[in-house]
Chain A
Amino acid sequence: MAEAKKVREDALAVPRRRFEKVNEIIARHGKSASALIPILQEVQEEYRYLPEEILTYVAMVMDLPPSTVYGVATFYVQFSLEPKGKYVIKICDGTACHVRGSDPVKEAIRKRVGLKNEKHTTDDLRFTVETVSCLGACGLAPVVMINDQIYGQMTPDAINVILDKILEEEGDVK
């Protein structure tokens, strides 16, 4: 028993220094199982995604089976195990937005940032494009959210103007 504990302590020693931020988050929420989701939320905010090594580390520190942590991280759509782009573009495909034409807006965005096939994130990690169901601004359908900013009453033309501006700020004149 004591030996197992020591093995665990040793295994933790190095990452503990590396994951200082994670430690701080866990310390703030405590180690009860119900703190897992808020902890993962904050970790994701910090790293923009949930790197696998961090999931394992969180499991160890919280004394939970890694499968539990992985299970939770893959259940909720908010969590991403892959890195996300600098700009996360969420296109609402809730009912209200769907009937007012969110599809053409999505196509326009994917085309403008150069995403093909099933991909969600551009190779240069600049843009992630995802569809979500309902951002709660249905009165302004169709709605697009770029990072934390909501844009309402979108059309392919309108979103292109916004994206042009972002690309310009990025020093990318296409």
Chain B
Amino acid sequence: MKIDSRETLNTMGKTWKEGFAKETARILVCAGTGCVANGSLQVYEALKAEVQRRNAYVSVEMLLEEGQSGTTIVKSGCHGFCEMGPLVRLEPGGILYIKVSKDDATDIVTALLEGKGPVERLLYKHPVTGEIYAEESNIPFYKHQTRTVLQHCGVIDPEDIREYIAEGGYQALAKVLHEMSPADVCQEVIDSGLRGRGGGGFPTGRKWEATRISEGEKKYVVCNGDEGDPGAFMDRSVMEGDPHKVLEGMAIAGYAVGADEGYIYVRAEYPLAVQRLETAIKQALEMGLLGENILGTGFNFRIKIKEGAGAFVCGEETALLASIEGERGMPRPKPPFPAQSGLWGKPTLINNVETFANVPKVINDGAKVFRKSGTAKSPGTKTFALTGQVANTGLIEVPMGITLRDIVYEIGGGLRNGKRFKAVQIGGPSGGCLTEQHMDMELDFDSLLSVGAMIGSGGLVVTNEDTCMVEFARYFMNFTQNESCGKCVPCREGTKRMLEMLQRAVDGEGRPEDVEILEDLAEAVKDGSLCGLGKTAPNPVLSMLKYFKDEYVAHVVDKRCPAGVCKALLGYSIDPESCKGCSKCSRVCPVGAITGEIKKPYRIDSEKCIKCGACVSSCPFKAIKEG
């Protein structure tokens, strides 16, 4: 089936929409990476077998081509609530079942087909209030979100282009090709105020315009799907859950800047994203929505996938281009900017996955409507990967300008296990932390920069009282030090020295004078590095020194780890009040460091103690304290 004109796109969209409306019910099983790991594919098979057994099943082919009605079963993209997976969503009604196993298939299908209410034991139950929620959209985790980029994730089958088209997909592409000049498109994107979601927040429209007016017969569009921030998976979810949206955004960009070829650079660790994108590209080519003479307008655009090979620095745009060209992924000096001289020296537009995924909405709704959400200087929404010590982890999308409090407490459901909030690390290895004092700040590109953090790609890691911030800073330093490509000496050597100092602090060998050296060195690394990796590498450390200096001082001066994490600094002691003198601890101690008399409080000899912790778990009275 070829869609060779706008009219055909409209008719087919309508036909398929009506076809899908013949579903009496739809069962969506999440086939995102998280749920697959938890066994969702077995759940899918079990549900399908059960519906078939009751003769209620229709395939999409029977639905669309033969006009039959019945229940469809679809593998969807990520719903975002990964921790609760495997997830199953039912339409109509938008019922969400959590932690579904294949053994639940009979109950789910029975309740659905016999019109009984939902299966209560599989519904989300609020851990504090105990309230039970049937509809996905009412669950607090979803209720406070605004899902536009993620609107299709978890709702449609990402491997079927017809669903995307039935939902209005490729209409934005048709609109620009028929109604707008390339300059108009760039202007619309400028007017929308859309800013790059890859970290820097650079105005997208300006980048497009610069590439458009750049001289050259051959130009490229590149989509950055490297997503190197460890602890972030938004781009992955978009590529897996709604790949056509990314393709459509890229094709619109290709038209706007005058490119006929695009590349998507996907991280090596994302095999499922690669597979979904490949399927999507193949289907779009077959239908003529990519390839030659798209929608009969003479516009040509092809997209290729490049798989990364594991290097964080390849997320940096110039390094990424070097990697596509087959070289070591080392950043190149700017200028020239990719817009002037990018891939193979040709003008190249490079944007992040989520940036492209915003484009169809900007075009369909217009700049004005797009500006209605978010803040004046950062319009629109942002996806975040909410992880760490928060009750509800997962993929979220919120309007820019939301407060941290809303994210952590309303969406995230507060801290896990009743622990106390300590900080949120935002922006990964280039970012910084936000603490209690930032709870009510409106989050956007600029407000975060003003407090020494950055949105980065959108990883939000919540930490609690048990997280040692010094160790956390060491962790990031270790990461950037490993990932430094080695080109700039300040970055290569500076990060190493900074890591050594942090390692010393964690190992109990920190020196008080290190604080100043750390701060000095941080400035040197920032100033002396070519690319963003080095320029931002010291951020987590500076942020730690700014907000948690007391913890650092405790490590290097008092040789104490207040969070009780750094093994070298841990000591154990027996609380004489709680100790009943049962002698259990002294019997399990492998080095004979605990002595005492029966029925009297025992003591630990800290010289002999090897800090193995065996005594702590052996004590029936919880009398042994760490710290």
A residues sitting closer than 8 Å to B (CB atoms) are 32-38, 40-41, 68, 71-72, 75-79, 92-100, 132-141, 143, 148-152
- Which residue of the partner chain, among A35, A37, A134, A150, contacts B230 with CB atoms under 8 Å? A134
Rounded to whole angstroms, the CA-CA distance of A151 and B201 in the bound complex is 34
Between A and B, 24 residue pairs with Cβ closer than 8 Å are: A33-B325, A33-B326, A33-B327, A34-B324, A34-B325, A37-B307, A72-B326, A79-B309, A95-B229, A95-B475, A96-B393, A96-B459, A97-B231, A98-B230, A132-B310, A133-B230, A136-B33, A136-B233, A137-B33, A138-B385, A139-B233, A140-B82, A141-B388, A141-B393
Chain A residues within 8 Å of B267, by CB: 136
Once the chains bind, are B385 and A152 in contact (CB under 8 Å)?
A: no
Chain A residues within 8 Å of B485, by CB: 75
B294 to chain A, nearest CB (A): 25
Once the chains bind, are A99 and B395 in contact (CB under 8 Å)?
A: no
Question: CB-defined interface of B456-479 with A at 8 Å, one 1/0 digit per residue?
Answer: 000101010001000010011001
Chain B residues within 8 Å of A151, by CB: 37
Once the chains bind, are A75 and B328 in contact (CB under 8 Å)?
A: yes
Known: A137-B82, A140-B38. A100 touches B271 (CB 8 A): no
Closest to B389 in A: A99
Once the chains bind, are A34 and B326 in contact (CB under 8 Å)?
A: yes
Rounded to whole angstroms, the CA-CA distance of A79 and B309 in the bound complex is 7
Rounded to whole angstroms, the CA-CA distance of A34 and B389 in the bound complex is 42
In the complex, whether B394 has a CB less than 8 A from a CB of chain A is yes
Chain B stretch 418-471: residues in CB contact (< 8 A) with chain A: 425, 428, 459, 461, 463, 467
Once the chains bind, are A76 and B329 in contact (CB under 8 Å)?
A: yes
- Which residue of the partner chain, among B33, B387, B467, contacts A96 with CB atoms under 8 Å? B387
- Which residue of the partner chain, among B229, B323, B395, contacts A134 with CB atoms under 8 Å? B229
Rounded to whole angstroms, the CA-CA distance of A136 and B269 in the bound complex is 8
Known: A72-B326, A78-B309, A95-B475. A134 touches B232 (CB 8 A): yes
Once the chains bind, are B310 and A76 in contact (CB under 8 Å)?
A: yes
Closest to A141 in B: B387
Once the chains bind, are A140 and B328 in contact (CB under 8 Å)?
A: no
A59 to chain B, nearest CB (A): 13
Chain B residues within 8 Å of A96, by CB: 230-231, 385, 387-388, 393, 459, 461
Rounded to whole angstroms, the CA-CA distance of A99 and B460 in the bound complex is 12
Known: A72-B326, A134-B229, A138-B232. A95 touches B309 (CB 8 A): no
Once the chains bind, are B311 and A76 in contact (CB under 8 Å)?
A: yes
Once the chains bind, are B329 and A134 in contact (CB under 8 Å)?
A: no
Chain B residues within 8 Å of A76, by CB: 308-311, 329
In the complex, whether B182 has a CB less than 8 A from a CB of chain A is no
Chain B residues within 8 Å of A78, by CB: 268, 308-310
A-B CB proximity, top 4 nearest: A139-B82, A94-B230, A95-B231, A96-B387
Chain B residues within 8 Å of A68, by CB: 327
Rounded to whole angstroms, the CA-CA distance of A47 and B412 in the bound complex is 44
Rounded to whole angstroms, the CA-CA distance of A172 and B81 in the bound complex is 38
Known: A96-B388, A99-B467, A134-B269. A152 touches B309 (CB 8 A): no
Once the chains bind, are B389 and A95 in contact (CB under 8 Å)?
A: no
Rounded to whole angstroms, the CA-CA distance of A100 and B472 in the bound complex is 12
Once the chains bind, are B387 and A37 in contact (CB under 8 Å)?
A: no
Once the chains bind, are B328 and A72 in contact (CB under 8 Å)?
A: yes
Chain B stretch 557-591: residues in CB contact (< 8 A) with chain A: none
Rounded to whole angstroms, the CA-CA distance of A97 and B269 in the bound complex is 15
B431 to chain A, nearest CB (A): 10
Once the chains bind, are B328 and A77 in contact (CB under 8 Å)?
A: no
In the complex, whether B36 has a CB less than 8 A from a CB of chain A is yes
Rounded to whole angstroms, the CA-CA distance of A76 and B310 in the bound complex is 5
Chain A residues within 8 Å of B229, by CB: 95, 134
Question: CB-defined interface of B116-160 with A at 8 Å, one 1/0 digit per residue?
Answer: 000000000000000000000000000000000000000000000
With A75-B311, A93-B230, A96-B387 given, can you name 6 additional A-B contacts, CB distance below 8 Å?
A40-B309, A95-B231, A134-B232, A136-B227, A140-B85, A141-B387
Once the chains bind, are A95 and B230 in contact (CB under 8 Å)?
A: yes
Chain A residues within 8 Å of B227, by CB: 136
B626 to chain A, nearest CB (A): 15
Once the chains bind, are B38 and A139 in contact (CB under 8 Å)?
A: no
Once the chains bind, are B428 and A95 in contact (CB under 8 Å)?
A: yes
Once the chains bind, are A136 and B37 in contact (CB under 8 Å)?
A: no
Give the one of B231, B267, B311, B394 with max A CB within 10 A.
B231
Closest to B479 in A: A133
Rounded to whole angstroms, the CA-CA distance of A138 and B480 in the bound complex is 19
Closest to B476 in A: A95
Once the chains bind, are A132 and B231 in contact (CB under 8 Å)?
A: no
Once the chains bind, are A77 and B271 in contact (CB under 8 Å)?
A: no
A139 to chain B, nearest CB (A): 3
Chain B residues within 8 Å of A95, by CB: 229-231, 387-388, 425, 428, 459, 461, 475-476
In the complex, whether B270 has a CB less than 8 A from a CB of chain A is yes
In the complex, whether B34 has a CB less than 8 A from a CB of chain A is yes
Chain A residues within 8 Å of B231, by CB: 94-97, 134, 138
Chain B residues within 8 Å of A97, by CB: 231
Closest to A44 in B: B309
Once the chains bind, are B271 and A148 in contact (CB under 8 Å)?
A: yes
A100 to chain B, nearest CB (A): 7
Chain B stretch 370-387: residues in CB contact (< 8 A) with chain A: 385, 387
Chain A residues within 8 Å of B292, by CB: none
